[in-house]
């Protein structure tokens, strides 16, 4: 298994040529985030993740987490030193406001740091990721007292956070949540109920764990409209900011999972006796509304997991292919034992991994930058454009990237052959770890339904039409680039035509028959994301071509053009192939009776 090497050059290439970090640095509050400063921070962040966090990945998978007899979650020993170093270095504070101890960088810079952290150790990275959600909840919806009490410790990562949403009977249907919250005379609430699948719900790395809990007050209506959000600390905080007595939050059990063995997934019990003490976050009955304000960043962070773990698996597969000898490559002397990277099918698998990874990175970073624009640009129209773009790209980032995370880690195992199926080789862990991401933060089917049900109708469909038009407008630049990018140009033209056809069909049929739209949702999302990925790869090829013309020979830039061509010639055609699935309608799905499926 290869040591993790942060893909710093590609990260910087995307930030410079796709995202336009220099423009973000002109926004109020981000003036210190100029490219030179950011790139210096990324270099140090990459060094830290590779040297401090990445070595804990296999250890964590092997040791896992345990629940002691007295209800304490015990993490792998090496995690404690790594987490302490993470807190001291301040990496969790990168994208948060300086007034609460943050470093005040754009969200896209935090995403770049988060990619390297996640690739280093996905299980470990889930702790800071969940803390980000808690920070956002308190920052956006908490009152002054909650912000003063909890934000700084969360931002420094001295305390960690969770999102406590679902319950045994609820699953993705949060309207079925039964956890209760009863207001007390002092304004606090007593919380009683049980929550499941709580990532890093308890652990021994931080002094306190801050839970954001969805619960129903006595007057709460059935369904999601009756839910409110509450902050429930593991340890209560005294008026002077010191830690007081333990709150009534207990770990019932730990889940035994396919992967991310070092990430404790807890069943939590709130209030076995008098009830956990909780504090209302935002207004009563606005729990789901508050959750949705955090949803874009949470889903983007999960999409990032697909990118990061695919990158880590690709690095392993590439090293193995450059070392393993087997078979005789075409054109070599009889008796030659060739490196497997000299065989066409191995190269196909490696190029598939690399080109998808480069497309995902551009998509996710663009999504994050759109959030920065939406929140920070002084011009109202630019803020609206940023918000619309972030809304549109988020289901693509989350679903496509996590689906690809599973597919590409599987390809990495295939490069290894039989050795990849052996745990000692290490690459199987990536596959096991990646499998949860398509389920996190709303399954990928839910993301597809969100795309066709909420995102396509935005502004009467104009948001999607404008975005497709923006992709189509790149044709002039591709034409000007000449024969070198001709296959990218023709591939994009065919793919955009298919996407436009599918979008028009959905706009017409989706209104008439909702089942047709829902049946089309998953293949449509795959088509939309595949074409969008092609657009990003085409832009990268243009940028690399310009750089080569201005700077002479550079293998990285040459490889960038090859991966873009490979994407256009061998991956992008899948988009047109999905048109039949999109336009197939729902009738065939209901031609079979449920009991027939077991015949």
Q: Is 318 left (phi over 0), alpha (psi -120 to 50) or beta?
A: alpha
Q: Which helix (H) or strand (E) holds 196?
A: strand 189-199
| Pairing status of strand 227-233 against strand 208-216 | antiparallel
DSSP label of 231: E
233 phi, psi to nearest 5 deg: -80, 150
Nearest to 86 by CA among 157, 10, 24, 145: 157
| Spatial CB neighbours of 84, under 8 Å, sequence gap ≥ 6 | none
Cα first-last separation, the chain: 45
- Furthest C-alpha separation in the chain: 87
Strands 208-216 and 159-164 come out as: parallel
Alpha-helical (H) ranges within 25-121 are 35-48, 56-63, 77-89, 107-120
> Helices 427-434 and 56-63 sit at what angle, rounded to 10 degrees?
70
Cα atoms in the 13 Å half-sphere on the side-chain side of 336: 12
Distance, CA of 429 to CA of 263 (rounded, Å): 13
Contacts of 242 (CB under 8 A, 6+ apart): none
- Residue 124 makes CB contacts below 8 A (sequence gap 6+) with 53, 56, 57, 60, 79, 82, 83, 117, 262, 263
User: Residue 131 and residue 301: Cα distance in Å, rounded?
Assistant: 12
Rg of the chain in Å (alpha carbons): 24
Exposed, middle or buried, 2 (CB in 10 Å: 0-12/13-18/19+)?
middle
Our answer to whether residue 441 is catalytic in this structure is: yes
Using alpha carbons, select from 466, 485, 457, 594 the residue that is nearest to residue 546: 485
Quick one: DSSP state of residue 474? T
The Cβ-side half-sphere exposure at 211, using a 13 Å CA radius, reads 35
- Give the up-direction half-sphere exposure of residue 272: CA atoms within 13 A in the CB hemisphere: 8
CB 260 within 8 A of CB 433: yes
Q: Give the C-alpha separation, 42 to 35, whole Å.
A: 10
Let me know: does 540 contact 18? Beta carbons within 8 Å.
Answer: yes
Which of 115, 248, 358, 441 is flagged as catalytic?
441
Q: What phi and psi values does residue 190 have, to the nearest 5 degrees?
A: -100, 120
**Helix H or strand E encompassing 269:** strand 265-270
- Helix locations, 142-231, DSSP H: 144-146, 152-155
Q: Is the Cα torsion angle 167, 169, 173, 179 positive or negative in sign?
A: negative
Residue 505 CA to chain centroid, in angstroms? 30
Catalytic residue set: 441
């Amino acid at each position: 298994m290869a040591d993790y090497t942060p893909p710093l050059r590609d990260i910087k290439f995307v930030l410079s040529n796709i995202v336009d970090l220099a423009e973000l640095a002109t926004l109020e509050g981000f003036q210190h985030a100029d490219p030179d400063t950011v790139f210096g921070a990324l270099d140090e962040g990459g060094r830290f993740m590779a040297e401090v966090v990445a070595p804990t990945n296999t250890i964590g998978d092997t040791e896992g987490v345990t629940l002691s007899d007295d209800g304490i979650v015990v993490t792998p020993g090496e995690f404690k030193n790594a987490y302490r170093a993470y807190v001291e270095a301040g990496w969790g504070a990168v994208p948060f406001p300086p007034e609460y101890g943050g470093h005040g960088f754009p969200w896209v810079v935090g995403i770049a740091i988060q990619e390297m952290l996640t690739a280093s150790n996905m299980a470990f990275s889930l702790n800071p990721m969940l803390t980000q959600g808690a920070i956002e909840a308190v920052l956006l919806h908490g009152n002054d007292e909650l912000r003063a009490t909890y934000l700084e410790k969360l931002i420094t990562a001295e305390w960690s956070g969770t999102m406590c949403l679902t319950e045994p009977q609820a699953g993705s249907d949060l309207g079925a949540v039964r956890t209760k919250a009863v207001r007390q005379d002092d304004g606090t609430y007593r919380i009683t109920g049980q929550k499941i699948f709580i990532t890093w719900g308890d652990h021994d790395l931080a002094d306190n764990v801050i839970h954001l809990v969805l619960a129903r007050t006595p007057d709460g209506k059935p369904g999601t409209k009756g839910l409110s959000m509450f902050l429930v600390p593991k340890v209560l905080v005294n008026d002077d900011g010191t830690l007081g007595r333990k709150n009534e939050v207990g770990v019932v059990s730990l889940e035994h999972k396919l992967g991310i063995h070092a990430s404790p997934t807890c069943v939590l019990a709130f209030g076995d006796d008098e009830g956990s003490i909780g504090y209302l976050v935002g207004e009563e009955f606005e729990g789901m509304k508050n959750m949705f304000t955090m949803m874009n960043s949470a889903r983007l962070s999960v999409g990032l997991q697909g990118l990061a773990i695919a990158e880590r698996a690709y690095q392993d597969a590439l090293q193995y292919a450059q070392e393993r000898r087997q078979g005789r490559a075409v054109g070599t002397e009889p008796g030659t034992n060739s490196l497997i990277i000299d065989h066409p099918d191995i190269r196909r698998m490696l190029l598939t991994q690399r080109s998808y990874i480069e497309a995902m990175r551009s998509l996710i970073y663009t999504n994050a930058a759109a959030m920065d624009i939406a929140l920070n640009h002084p011009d109202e129209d630019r803020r609206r454009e940023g918000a619309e773009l972030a809304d549109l790209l988020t289901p693509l980032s989350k679903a496509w990237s996590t689906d690809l995370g599973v597919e590409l880690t599987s390809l990495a195992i295939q490069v290894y052959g039989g050795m990849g199926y052996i745990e000692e080789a290490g690459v199987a862990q990536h596959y096991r770890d990646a499998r949860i991401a398509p389920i996190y933060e709303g399954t990928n089917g839910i993301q597809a339904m969100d795309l066709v049900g909420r995102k396509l109708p935005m502004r009467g469909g104009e948001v999607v039409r404008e975005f497709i038009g923006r992709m189509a407008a790149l044709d002039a630049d591709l034409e000007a680039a000449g024969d070198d990018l001709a296959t990218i140009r023709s591939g994009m033209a065919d793919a955009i035509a298919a996407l436009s056809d599918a979008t028009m069909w959905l706009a017409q049929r989706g209104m008439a028959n909702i089942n047709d739209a829902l049946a089309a949702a998953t293949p449509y999302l795959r088509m939309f994301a595949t074409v969008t990925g092609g657009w990003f790869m085409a832009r990268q090829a243009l940028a690399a071509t310009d750089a080569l013309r201005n700077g002479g020979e550079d293998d990285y830039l040459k490889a960038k053009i090859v991966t873009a061509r490979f994407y256009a010639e061998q991956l992008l055609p899948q988009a047109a192939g999905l048109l039949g699935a999109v336009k197939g309608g729902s009738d065939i799905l209901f031609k079979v009776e449920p009991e027939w499926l077991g015949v």
